[in-house]
């Protein structure tokens, strides 16, 4: 009984970890895109001042 529960938990745990990794990648991608766009947006006004 305990072994079966552990096996189920392990399988579920790995699936959950993989899902979390995918979400993390997606979040990081979005964050990088947003921060890049912010940098680009911040650079434009500085160029106009000069």
The arithmetic mean of pLDDT across residues 27-36, rounded, is 90
DSSP 1: -
Single pTM value for the model: 0.47
Sign of the torsion formed by the C-alpha atoms of 32, 36, 42 and 46: positive
CA distance 7 to 42: 52
Instruction: Provide the pLDDT for residue 44.
Output: 65
**pLDDT value, residue 50:** 58
In the Cβ-directed half-sphere of 21, how many Cα atoms lie within 13 Å?
6
Would the pLDDT of 13 be above 80? Answer: no
What average pLDDT does the segment 19-29 reach? 90
Between CA 5 and CA 36, with CA 25 as vertex, the angle to 5 degrees is 160
**Which strand (E) or helix (H) includes residue 49?**
helix 2-49
Q: What is the mean pLDDT of the chain?
A: 80
């Amino acid at each position: 009984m305990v072994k079966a529960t552990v096996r189920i938990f392990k399988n579920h745990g790995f699936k959950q970890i993989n899902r979390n990794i995918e979400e993390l990648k997606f979040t990081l991608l979005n964050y990088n895109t947003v921060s890049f766009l912010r940098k680009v947006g911040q650079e434009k006004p500085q160029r106009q001042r000069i």
